Amino acid sequence: DSGVTQTPKHLITATGQRVTLRCSPRSGDLSVYWYQQSLDQGLQFLIQYYNGEERAKGNILERFSAQQFPDLHSELNLSSLELGDSALYFCASSVDPGETQYFGPGTRLLVL
């Protein structure tokens, strides 16, 4: 158990819908990272937050957005969902940027 929690574990929705994935970092960690894992793209870095501020952006679509709240939990919002958005979404946290990242169990999203 890494100490990073993600909810929900599974999510099934339809194309065009909007969903929110939630992540609670390890106690004391200020940085949160979001990743997408799919069969064709592998593990892709989406976005990083540090202490509430966006710090780095990766291959995140404009239909996706994220934020980190004052209590340091983070949410990833996925809108106008497409079939290709079906994937495993991981959250990771670290004490500071550049430190070891610890991964949550992931949220498996299926878009029908």
Partner 1 sequence: AQSVTQPDIHITVSEGASLELRCNYSYGATPYLFWYVQSPGQGLQLLLKYFSGDTLVQGIKGFEAEFKRSQSSFNLRKPSVHWSDAAEYFCAVEGDGQNFVFGPGTRLSVLP
Instruction: Give the residues lining the site for partner 1 (CB under 8 A).
Output: 2, 4, 31, 33, 35, 42-45, 48, 55-56, 58, 90, 92, 97-98, 100-106
- Specify burial of residue 64 (Cβ count, 10 A radius: 0-12, 13-18, 19+): buried
Peptide bond into 25 cis (omega under 30): no
Give the nearer residue to partner 1 in terms of CB position, either 13 or 45. Answer: 45
Give the nearer residue to partner 1 in terms of CB position, either 48 or 68. Answer: 48
Give the nearer residue to partner 1 in terms of CB position, either 5 or 79. Answer: 5
DSSP helix/strand/coil, 95: coil
